[in-house]
C-alpha cells in the first residue's frame, strides 16, 4: 500500500477533525428533519410525516433551523478537509496539484453554477446564506449577479493556477496563492500547494 503524503501538523489535525465535522454536520442537518416540518424552504419536498417528527420545534436563524444552520456551516468550514484527506490518503490516484487545486476548482465551478442557475432562491436574501468562498457568500447573501460573475472569475483563476502548476511554470506559486486567498476557505488546499512549491525550491 502506498505511503501517506505528509501534511503540516496543524493541517493534519484539521483534516482529521474536518472529516468528523462533515459527519457531524450531516447529522445536525438530518436532526432538523425530525423537529421542523420543512427544514429548508428551498426544498419543501424534503420533509418527514408528522408521525415521525419529535414533539419539539427548533427556532430558526433567518430561513433555517438552528441545527441545520450549524450543520451547513460545519460543511462549509470542513469541506476542504476532503481534498486534504484525498491528498494524504491516496497518493497514487492523483497528483498533488489535482487534489489540492484542480478538484477544489472543479467544486467551485460546480457550486457557483448551481447557486447561480439552479438553487431555489429564498426571499429575502440573508447574511446567513451558507457559501463555500467569500465571493460566493457575497452573491448568495445578495443575489447580485456581479458577485456570481466574480466567483466565476476566481474559479477561472483556479483553472489557470492548475494549468500553470501542472506545467511547473515560473509563476505557479503566485497563481496558487492568489487562487487560495480569493477562494478562501475552499482555497485553503491551494495555499498549501503554494507553500509546498515554495518550500521545495
Domain ranges, ordered by start, for the chain: 1-78, 94-201
In the prediction, which pLDDT does 72 show?
Answer: 97
In the prediction, which pLDDT does 91 show?
Answer: 80
pTM (predicted TM-score): 0.92
In the prediction, which pLDDT does 3 show?
Answer: 62
In the prediction, which pLDDT does 2 show?
Answer: 53
Strand partners, 60: 65
d(C-alpha 149, C-alpha 126), whole Å: 19
In 3D, which of 137, 143, 83 has the Cα closest to residue 116? 143
DSSP per-residue letters across 44-85: TT----GGGS-S----EETTEEHHHHHHHHHHHHHTHHHHHH
Q: Estimate the share of the chain in helix, then strand, then coil, as percent rounded to the nearest 5.
A: 65, 5, 35
List the chain residues with pLDDT less than 50.
1
| 132: DSSP letter | S
Q: What is the pLDDT of residues 104-139, one digit of tens each?
A: 999 999 999 999 999 999 999 999 999 999 999 999
DSSP per-residue letters across 104-156: HHHHHHHHHHIIIIIS---SS--TT---SBHHHHHHHTT--HHHHHHHHHHHH
In the prediction, which pLDDT does 1 show?
Answer: 44
In the prediction, which pLDDT does 93 show?
Answer: 77
Burial classification of residue 87, based on how many CB atoms lie within 10 Å of its CB (0-12 exposed, 13-18 middle, 19 or more buried) = buried
Amino acid at each position: 500500500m502506498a505511503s501517506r503524503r505528509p501534511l503540516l501538523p496543524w493541517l493534519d489535525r484539521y483534516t482529521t477533525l474536518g472529516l468528523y465535522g462533515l459527519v457531524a454536520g450531516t447529522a445536525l442537518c438530518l436532526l432538523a428533519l425530525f423537529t421542523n416540518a420543512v427544514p429548508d424552504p428551498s426544498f419543501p419536498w424534503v420533509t418527514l410525516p408528522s408521525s415521525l417528527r419529535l414533539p419539539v420545534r427548533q427556532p430558526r436563524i433567518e430561513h433555517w433551523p438552528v441545527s441545520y444552520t450549524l450543520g451547513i456551516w460545519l460543511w462549509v468550514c470542513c469541506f476542504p478537509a476532503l481534498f486534504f484527506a484525498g491528498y494524504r490518503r491516496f497518493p497514487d490516484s492523483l497528483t498533488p496539484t489535482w487534489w489540492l487545486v484542480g478538484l477544489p476548482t472543479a467544486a467551485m465551478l460546480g457550486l457557483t453554477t448551481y447557486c447561480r442557475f439552479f438553487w431555489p432562491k429564498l426571499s429575502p436574501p440573508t447574511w446567513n446564506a451558507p457559501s463555500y468562498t467569500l465571493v460566493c457568500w457575497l452573491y448568495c447573501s445578495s443575489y447580485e449577479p456581479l458577485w456570481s460573475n466574480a466567483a466565476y472569475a476566481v474559479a477561472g483563476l483556479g483553472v489557470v493556477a492548475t494549468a500553470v502548476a501542472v506545467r511547473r511554470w515560473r509563476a505557479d506559486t503566485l497563481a496558487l496563492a492568489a487562487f487560495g486567498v480569493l477562494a478562501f476557505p475552499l482555497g485553503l488546499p491551494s495555499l498549501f500547494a503554494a507553500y509546498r512549491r515554495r518550500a521545495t525550491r
